[in-house]
Structure formats: structure tokens, C-alpha cells
Amino acid sequence: MIFKALIVAIWAGFCALDQFGPHLGFRKPLLAGVVVGFLLGDPLQGLIIAGTLELMWLGTNNVGAYQPPDVISGAVVGVAIGILSGGGEAAGVAVAVPVALLVQQLSMIIMTTNVSLVHSADKIVQFGEFGKIDKLQYLGGLFFFLSRAVPVFIAVWLGAPAVEAVLDVIPQFVLTGLSVASKLIPAVGLAMLLSMMLKKNMWIFLTLGFSLSTFLQIPTVGIAIFALVASALYDILMNRGGGTQSETADVTSVVVADGEGEFDL
């Protein structure tokens, strides 16, 4: 169990570095969770649990200084616990949410700590010791890595046996209810995403796409192509005559500041 917890923790730390580094996409619950499924020998179950968590957290984004629940740690631990305990989606979702909230608080502490490294870099620059700046960069990355790897290791190492014991005590009808709820949660995630993305004049396109899929049985690729054409036409219609208006605005925005020929463009 320790070895499995260790490799899962290392993967969680890598996903954290990807979030602040190359942005390969592994900070998404779906990709992060599927890899955990491969590491633990059950990629299908990993895909199912990770897909559920991805849909659940679709509307979770950073807004300003707000730090959302850490979906990386939640997804990695949720998939690992769901597979190792045999609890499936119900156990995965039940564990993923509290872990994501816990690491959310830890992430804010780490970010505050890394800000102090920036001030240290300012002092280093004043003394001209530029070679030490790289070390601070690596140190900040190490903090990000450990902020995910350590809690994930503890949760997976101690969590699976604990979850197994709890699942043995919980009545079957409760587990069935959790399983049903885990299938409803993605709908809530989609609703949150749509509530942020859709404007009043966009609902017609959602209704059209739903109708094409439900009544005409058009596959997803066909609907995507139709949506691409519709969005292009919509953009053309909304910007018709925009060039003339833009040129007029550019001309009228020129204001003579004084008699010496200075302009405020």
C-alpha cells in the first residue's frame, strides 16, 4: 500500500507542477484521474470516477484572488480510494470533496510562502547575486510539489483501509443512494458552467443543439461542425458594418491638443 500511495503522490505533485508550469492539461480531474487508474491497474474504473469528478467541477475556476478547491488532489485521491477500497464512484466522490477543500487551505498557505520568496529575490538582486534566483525558483516549485504530494500520500496510505472499514459498516441502501447521487452531481456541474457561459441570447443555440441530438439523432461530431458554422455566421452578422464604424471612430477620436500639432489619439 505504501508503494501505491507513493507513486500516486508523485503523480499528484507532477500535476501540481503542470498547473504552474508547462500546462500540459494534467491539472484537469479527467486526465489526472485516468493516469491514477493506469497506475493502480484499473484504468476503466479510473476513467469512470475521474469523468464524474470532471463534470462535477466543470464550473470551478479561479476568480481574482479566490483559490477554488484543489481539484487535482481531490481527483487523484478520489480515484485512488475508489479503486483501492472497491467503493467505486460513491467512495471516490465522498472522499474527493473534503480532500479538495483541505488542500485548498494548504495551497493558500504555500502561495503566501512563495510570495516571500519573491521578496527574497528582490534582496538578492540588490546585492547582485543573480545566480541564487534560480534556486528560489526551484524552491517555489518544490513547495508546490509537496503541497499536493504529501497530503495525497497520507490520504491514500491511511484512507483506503479506513474507507473499507467504513463501507463495511454503512448499510447497502446508503451506498446505493450515494451511487445515485454521484450520477446526479455531474448535472449540477454542467448547470453551474452553463449559468456562467450562456447569455440570454445564447439559449436558442443550446436548445437547437439539444433538439438535433435528441430528435434527429445527429452524432456529436455533426453537432460540433454545425455549431462551428453557426458561430461563424453569428459573428459575421453581429459585426456587419463594424469596419466602417471602427474607421469612423478612429477619425473622430483624434483631438487637437494645442496649436503646436500635438494630438491625443
d(CA 189, CA 192): 5
Tens of pLDDT along 117-149? 877 888 888 877 777 777 887 888 888 888 888
Q: Which segments of 127-171 does DSSP mark as H helices, in order?
A: 131-169
Nearest to 99 by CA among 70, 60, 66, 79: 70
Letter string b/e over residues 207-231, b meaning 16 or more CB atoms within 10 A of that residue's CB: eebeebeeeeebeeeebeeeeeeee
Q: Which helix (H) or strand (E) holds 263?
A: strand 263-264
| Angstrom distance (rounded) from CA 55 to CA 198 | 17
Length of the chain measured in residues: 265
Strand 263-264 and strand 255-256: pairing?
antiparallel
What are the tens digits of pLDDT across the range 205-249? Answer: 878 888 888 888 888 888 888 888 888 888 888 887 554 444 444
Domain ranges of the chain: 2-197, 199-243
Which pTM value belongs to this model?
0.60
Q: Cα(225)–Cα(92) distance, rounded to whole angstroms?
A: 35
**Looking at residue 193, what is its pLDDT?**
66
Evaluate whether 74 touches 112 at the Cβ level (below 8 Å).
no
98-120 pLDDT tens trace: 788 777 777 777 777 777 787 78
What is the per-residue pLDDT across 16-26, written as a single tens digit (0 to 9) for each?
Answer: 888 777 777 77
What pLDDT, on a 0 to 100 scale, did the predictor assign at position 254? Answer: 44
Within 10 Å of residue 112's Cβ, how many Cβ atoms?
9
Q: Which of 28, 4, 5 is nearest to 18 (CA)?
A: 28
d(CA 34, CA 26): 10
Residue whose entry in the numeric block shows the C-alpha cell 494548504:
106
**234, 235, 241, 242: CA torsion to nearest 10:** 150
- Give yes or no for a contact between 16 and 142, defined as CB atoms under 8 angstroms apart: no
Q: Given a cut of 50, is residue 255 above it in pLDDT?
A: no
Each residue's pLDDT tens digit, 202-216: 778 878 888 888 888
